[in-house]
């Protein structure tokens, strides 16, 4: 059994930031679960175009308000606490955070290793 606390990850290599977001990696590929799980903070007013071509991602909003745009078809959906979106088709998308930012739990399949950075297309590469 694996037991971790968010506070124990803060400031370690599992606490990763890039422009507009900070992600605390609770579970990574190394844990062997077949998925990774992140507690992610999106900065106030962030606009994040992304395209996870190599991963499926589900994002469960637990704090804040924002919007998710499916750039495949132009659909926009309001985000509020206890809303989930799942990128089941590797959808091209843009995440927008409101004035208070967003806090979400993100699950990736396959799991990220923790070493990925978004490439120019907004994807994470597959890392062995």
CA distance 93 to 88: 12
Three-state DSSP class for residue 91: coil
Q: Does 59 bind ligand 9YT (CB under 6 A)?
A: yes
CA distance 90 to 6: 28
Tell me 8's DSSP state: H
CA distance 81 to 113: 27
Among 28, 95, 97, 107, binds ligand 9YT (CB under 6 A): 95
Residue 7 or residue 19: which is nearer to ligand 9YT going by CB? 19
Residue 57 or residue 75: which is nearer to ligand 9YT going by CB? 57
Q: Does 50 bind ligand 9YT (CB under 6 A)?
A: yes
Q: Does 93 bind ligand 9YT (CB under 6 A)?
A: no
Site for ligand 9YT, rule CB under 6 A? 21, 23, 38, 40, 50, 59, 95, 104, 106
């Amino acid at each position: 059994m694996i037991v971790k606390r968010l506070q124990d990850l803060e400031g370690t290599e599992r606490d990763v930031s890039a422009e507009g977001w900070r992600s605390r990696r609770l579970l990574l590929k190394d844990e062997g679960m077949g998925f990774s799980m992140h507690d992610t903070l999106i900065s106030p007013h962030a606009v994040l175009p992304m395209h996870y071509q190599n991963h499926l991602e589900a994002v469960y909003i637990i704090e804040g308000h924002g919007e998710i745009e499916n750039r495949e078809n132009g659909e926009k959906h309001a985000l509020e606490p206890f809303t989930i979106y799942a990128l089941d088709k590797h959808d091209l998308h843009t995440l927008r955070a409101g004035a208070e930012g967003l806090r979400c739990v993100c699950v990736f399949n396959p799991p990220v290793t923790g070493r990925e950075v978004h490439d120019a297309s907004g994807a994470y590469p597959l890392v062995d």
